[in-house]
Amino acid sequence: MFHYQFDWGIVTSGKYFEWLLSGLYTTVQLSAVSIVLAFLLGLIIAMMRMSRVLPVRWFAYGYLEFFRNTPLLVQMFFWYFGSYKLLPEAVNDVLAQTNFEFTAAVIALTIYTSAFIAEDIRSGVRSIPKEQMEAARSSGFSYIRAMQYVVLPQAIRITIPPLINQFLNLTKNSSLAMTIGVAELTYQARQVESYTFRGYEAFTAATLVYLALSLFITGLVNLYNKMVLMRMRGE
């Protein structure tokens, strides 16, 4: 039935294994940096979205709708192929010295994911009873400090499950960075396939690595969740 001779050796050792490994390394780097930045940016956008200053709220609203409702791939192309035309020559010269593919991918993944994270955090904040804010304000906390010490720590704990989702999406979406030439895992798997015509093995390996990565992130956040959230509920 099958005439295909599997050769798993090419993806478990040797040159191609090293290619995949370096791809994994880049994927992890790209995802980790973008997750941290997307979370921070998402937090800021969520706060702006709830601001009492109308223009600030409108800006955040526009940001959210814009970046959630356009394809990530288009955004990535925009940052990579489009944005440098807006920048001064001198800046471009500096960027050319750096790994601009990587930077553009980080920008695209960060901004795109931050829009989703902001909405998750906002619904988390809204689920905290307003009496928590009142209690903190009554003790003399300013609005911002009450958010920082009382409301947000609770809201973010509630937001953990949807946040895991966004982190996983970001990690998987990072594979799109291959289209602008970032040598991440999918890019390297593709390379292996091109050199060896062993697409089955190369992409099976990439699939398993992504799966392991996702499960690892889930486990990590769940562990944190157990340690902190359970205690809060008194379990």
Partner 1 sequence: MIRFEGVHKWFGNLHVLNTINLHVRQGEVVVICGPSGSGKSTLIRTINRLEPIDKGKLIVDGMHVSDQKTDINRLRTEIGFVFQQFNLYPHLTVLRNITLAPIKVRKVGKKEAQEQAMALLERVGLSEKRDAYPSQLSGGEQQRVAIARSLAMKPRIMLFDEPTSALDPEMIGEVLAVMKDLAESGMTMCVVTHEMGFAREVADRIVFMDHGVILEEREPAAFFTSPQHARAQQFLKQILSPMH
Interface residues with partner 1 (CB under 8 A) are 129, 131-132, 134-142, 145, 149-150, 153-154, 157, 228, 231-234
- CA-CA distance, 71 to 174, in Å (whole number)? 13
Q: Least distance from C-beta 140 to partner 1, angstroms?
A: 4
The smaller minimum CB distance to partner 1, of residues 82 and 153, is found at 153
Q: Least distance from C-beta 230 to partner 1, angstroms?
A: 10
Q: Least distance from C-beta 135 to partner 1, angstroms?
A: 4
Q: Least distance from C-beta 43 to partner 1, angstroms?
A: 17
Answer for the pair 125, 46: CB distance below 8 angstroms, yes or no: yes
The smaller minimum CB distance to partner 1, of residues 25 and 141, is found at 141
The smaller minimum CB distance to partner 1, of residues 61 and 149, is found at 149
Answer for the pair 175, 188: CB distance below 8 angstroms, yes or no: no
Among the listed residues 144, 153, 114, 164, the one whose alpha carbon sits nearest the alpha carbon of residue 232: 153
Q: Which contacts (CB < 8 Å, 24+ apart) does range 68-73 have? A: 68/115, 68/116, 68/119, 72/108, 72/109, 72/112, 72/173, 72/176, 73/176, 73/179
Q: Least distance from C-beta 52 to partner 1, angstroms?
A: 14
The smaller minimum CB distance to partner 1, of residues 89 and 131, is found at 131
3-state secondary structure of 110: helix
The smaller minimum CB distance to partner 1, of residues 135 and 215, is found at 135
